[in-house]
Amino acid sequence: MLPTTDEGVSDRLEHAVLRDLAWLLVTADVIELSGPITYSGRPTRQELGLVDSVDDWLASLSSLVNALDGKLATRMGHYHERLWHLMLDNAPNTRLLAKNLRITQRRNTLGELDMLYRTRNNPNPIHLEVAIKFYLGLPEGPGDATSQSRWIGPGGLDSLALKCSHLRHHQLPMSSTAIAQAIIAQWLSPRDLGHALPHYPLTQRLAMPGVLFYPWHTTMPPPIGATVDHRRGKWCYLKDWPALAAEKGESLHMAWLEKPHWLAPPQQAAFQPANEEMAMVMPLIERYGPQQVMLYDSEAETKKQQMERLIIVPNDWPRQVPLPPRARG
């Protein structure tokens, strides 16, 4: 019998968006940024007002997310942002003030702030940057064994090191610049304000949930800065699938995760015998590249080992590895 819950998501939740929201609430960030400035982490469930009433709150969003069918972004990053918009604007203790706030100077766009929100007890705005990341670890690659440059996206276009560098040196500091502060104050002030714009003390936060996928064929340490409780998965080459499946046994079931729903595990009804599901997934890997699946093994030694995330990649993956970020003084 397949599990009723996993990764903190109840099987009673049917809508994929509600399942992904539930997953976001219980999933740790994959990384903690180090450096001279310490940025607060994601909004906590206490801050959101969702400590004891998560199920009821999610149920209250049913009509709202049903109305989104066919209108959601299909790109992972945009979809993840939409989830945070829903959460911050509908949680009991927070309200969304602005999203994708463009910072411009002399008609030149310097960047965007993902979102501004406030809490019920504090009118001052909070700047939140968000990113959803699924990185695969390379046993051999740039830097030493714990280098963030060895953790790359499925497409090979970005890396954990590049993302952390961009967050640390561009995205997060932007909201503290004079230009951004003036735009934020203008955005939040009444239209008919007849005096100098007020100063709004700004708190900066970062939410970076996701999964780090470790190679199936060898051991590898976590990257520098990885949180202790980050979500983990495995990755393997397509050629290794027969050996991996044989290791798991005939009781193995599989469910394919279709983007943008790479967050929460699917409901139990989605799991099929692994060999049957793999017959559908294999052509996708050969044509489109890496694919994420969930594996369920009812005969695993512990409940924690019963369900596992896996990304299966083509045998010639990766076709490219991003260069490490440039050193900054």
* Span 207-236, pLDDT tens digits: 999 999 999 999 999 999 999 999 999 999
Structure confidence at residue 190 (pLDDT): 59
Q: What sign does the CA torsion over 258, 14, 72, 322 have? A: negative
Q: Is 60 exceeded by the pLDDT of residue 5?
A: no
Q: Which residues pair with 220 in a beta bridge?
A: none
Per-residue pLDDT averaged across 290-303, rounded?
87
Per-residue pLDDT averaged across 122-130, rounded?
91
Q: Residue 214 in contact with residue 257, Cβ under 8 Å?
A: no
**Average pLDDT over all residues of the chain:** 89
For residue 190, what are the CA distances in angstroms to 10, 98, 197?
Answer: 43, 14, 10
Tell which residue, 256, 249, 253, has the closest CA to residue 2.
253
Helix and strand element counts for the chain (H, E):
11, 14
Q: Is 50 exceeded by the pLDDT of residue 12?
A: yes
Q: Is 90 exceeded by the pLDDT of residue 144?
A: yes
* Span 21-74, pLDDT tens digits: 999 999 999 999 876 666 778 899 999 999 887 888 999 999 888 877 667 777
CA atoms within 13 A on the CB side of 19: 22
Where residue 255 falls among pLDDT bands split at 50, 70, 90? very high
Spell out the domain ranges in the chain: 5-233
